[in-house]
Structure 1
């Protein structure tokens, strides 16, 4: 089975999951050029997106234990060994209608799975990036490998999900005590503040749940556009970055973008077994959600009173920036998981530009001497004249003494008077 590609959105404000985008051919194990599953082999090396992270530093305080992350997506498959211990199947839900079989009878298989069947593979990849457990034979692991996943199936390869079912999914996440909600779906249809989706998001934020959403994959033209739920106030909207920390060409830009995260050749778990790599803001959002899970574990609201807004601000403030301020393409920068988790600065309500270099101390004011006055100049000249006159007197007196002595000696010689020894 192959990963679903982008399909046309349905009417009535559908929520299209941010489907994989082939920014460039992704390396896969079977050589087909597609992300297939289940995989017979595992990806052995550590993916580039995780090579950016020093795990010893990232996990020195927590690995996310006790934090619950709701994945509102296409379901989360628990057959994959890296996800089975991470998923709380009993807390899941399925908001897609059961299909009818060939006889016209409803097939209730989907409705009873609690969100643990993923026929697309999209939600399974999202969940793996957040909380996949370590496994021998692969360098891939989730950023918060002790967090718990709440699987909520709300969409499929047909984009059957709607904004009203997403709102219900968010309310279910709240009821299941989610600390973080990841939504790798978007709709470009405007959603006003009184829409069901906007109200559900506000209810989650009021419960101090960190809501992370993908910005969308329609950014090839570079034009600013708002997507929802990412553009709602309080939601951490995530764009995609590449290996050079630059915006991936498909990533949707906008004033609402909070940060960027790896979204090209991103490795994660697939249904059944193994891993594969894919592209899209769908896989950037859970990268950030994993960081949010670690921060929420370090700063639980019940003990520290760190709000969801302060968690978001910490992620944005510690991002690796290319400009000193906000950018419509990568937000406040590319997320830096280690810096976000290890920074011990006091919490802040919102991100802000970094302070500039400290101002140099003002130099001491030097006193400027004025030119001498005419009186001072006359006194100086008079001093010079006195000195010269005294010198001339001394010279004249000395010369006279020498001449006098010379005359006396000459007179004595003429008179035959011997000189005194």
Structure 2
């Protein structure tokens, strides 16, 4: 049975790609509509405002780490991705002779995976490794990591679990240290064992495999999705600005962590940026952190990298839950609280504990200091009273003497 894949984002079904004049992206104003190309986003996206980037990059920039983006392709015409993508290692695994629903031929694109008519894979790649650029505050979390583009799906959903397994194996052969999969099987169907075997082969090579949890979480829906539910895969849910589960984010016991997935700014084909929602864009946020850790600790195993991300995530309860897993990923904490590797997160460690107030000491008498202060007050008051009394007595004596003189001299 051929199991199809769906991108774990709203883009494939809700975003309309608009035709724009053949103008350089730098000359276009930024538009809230997701058009290709688009203007540059002028500010710093909220998902990056929560990170002290200078502190983060003083620890690691992801240099030397290769991240495979198995998706709809990565368009290198976006200037922020031109130097980030290894085009020689890229691959297009879409079937040949593609046709749309009307039976018309579909352009398959470049063989090296650098064609992206959907924009999904280009956004994913940008969140991981977009290079800094003037005129925008957007940048990838690992701005010196290298992207391996593996085009394996498209807007018509031609990607299958068989081509996904082939893409994973290609990524391993191409030297990927991290693999990002922002897709899941349609209807949460458990795929044939071939995909799980490919995942296992990647994990055996100490490759960190990151997958989106899916977007079918409205109404509290809970179900397993694949490949996120496989053991060893770092399953990522979406969080909002309040560090809570985004309403659409899939819940389940398989969820490991959450990351920003609402109003996510990223790169689009032909240049510029636009915004989108989905766990598709939470997964690369985590993949970027994994790349930073791999670069900083090249001797750490994939399991240790994953455990570090889980342990340092922001959470308010001990352990994990089915909404955000171990919590919302904290990139800076993951790169600073890393003095030794761990194999699995500790439920209690890392929680902020409120200290109980110190009870006041109950006393039945006064302390020596209080007694000294009291006596000093008494002495001061007595001195004032005594001085006043002596002054009054002197005046009375003087007046009496004057009266006596007047008596003696009178006739």
Both structures adopt the same fold (TM-score exceeding 0.5): yes
Counterpart selection for 2:9 from 19, 33, 41: 19
SS in 2 for 1:46: coil
Farther off after superposition, 90-99 or 70-79: 90-99
Contact 2:188 2:223 in 1 (8 A): no
CA drift at 1:14 = 0.7
Tell me how far apart the structure 1 counterparts of residues 121 and 58 of structure 2 sit (CA, whole Å): 28
Give matches, 1:168-179, under 5 Å. Answer: 168-179=166-177
Instruction: Give CA-to-partner distance per residue, 1:30-68, whole Å, 9 cap, x none.
Output: 7976422111x2111000000001011101122011000
Q: What residue in structure 1 maps to residue 222 of structure 2?
A: 224
Partner of 1:313: 307
CA pair 101-173 structure 1, distance change in 2 beyond 3 A: closer
Identify the residue that residue 150 of structure 2 maps to in structure 1.
152
**Counterpart position of 1:37:** 36
Choose the corresponding residue for 1:330, options 324, 340, 353.
324
Classify the secondary structure of the residue corresponding to 1:82: helix
Is 1:87 matched up with 2:77? no
Report deviation, 1:112: 4.2
- Residues 185-219 of structure 1: per-residue CA shift (max 9 Å, x gap): 00144436x71100000000000000000000000
CA contact (8 A) 2:190 2:226 kept: yes
Tell me what 2:363 maps to: none
In structure 2, how many angstroms separate the alpha carbons of the residues matched to 1:268 and 1:359? 41
Residue 191 of structure 1 contacts residue 198 of structure 1 at CA under 8 Å; is this kept in 2? no
Task: Give the 3 Å change call, closer, same or farther, for CA 13–148 of structure 1 in structure 2.
Answer: same
- Are the equivalent residues in 2 in contact too, given 1:95–1:111 (CA < 8 A)? no
- Tell me which residue corresponds to 1:280: 278
Mapped contact 2:98–2:108 kept (Cα < 8 A): no
CA deviations on 1:121-142 (whole Å, 9 max, x unpaired) are 0000000000000000000000
Consecutive unaligned residues in structure 2, runs of 5 or more: 16-27, 357-411
Aligned pair partner of 1:77 in 75, 78, 82: 75
Following superposition, the deviation at residue 111 of structure 1 comes to 5.8
Q: Which residue of 1 aligns with 2:193?
A: 195
Q: Once the 2 structures are TM-superposed, how far is the Cα of residue 99 of structure 1 from its aligned partner?
A: 3.6
What is the CA deviation profile of residues 133-156 of structure 1, one whole-angstrom value per residue up to 9, with x for unaligned ones?
Answer: 000000000000000000000000
Measured against aligned partners, the alpha-carbon deviations of 1:240-277 in whole angstroms (never above 9, x if no partner) come to 00001010000000101011000000000000010011
Distance 2:104 2:49 in 1: 50
* Kept after mapping to 2: 8 A contact 1:21/1:250: no
Q: Which residue of 2 aligns with 1:376?
A: none
C-alpha distance in 2 between matches for 1:282 and 1:264: 10
2:403 maps to none
Match of 2:260 in 1: 262
**Which residue among 345, 348, 362 is the counterpart of 2:342?**
348
CA contact (8 A) 1:94 1:152 kept: yes
TM-score scaled to structure 2, two decimals?
Answer: 0.77
**What residue is the counterpart of 1:53 in the other structure?**
51
Hey, what does 1:186 align to over in structure 2? 184
Task: Measure, in 1, the Cα distance between the counterparts of 2:331 and 2:82.
Answer: 25
- Superposed CA deviations along residues 61-88 of structure 1, whole A, max 9, x for unmatched, are 2201100000000000000000010000
Structure having the higher Rg: 1
Aligned residues: CA RMSD: 2.7
Per-residue CA deviation, residues 264-318 of structure 1 (Å, 9 max, x unaligned), is: 0000000001001110000000000000000000111xxx2x1101100000000
Query: For residues 336 and 294 of structure 2, what CA distance do their matches in structure 1 show?
Result: 13
Task: Give the drift of 1:105.
Answer: 12
Where 1:257 maps in the other structure, the secondary structure is coil
What SS does the corresponding residue of 1:267 show, helix, strand or coil?
A: strand
Question: 2: distance between equivalents of 1:212 and 1:295?
Answer: 14
Q: TM-score, normalised by structure 1?
A: 0.76
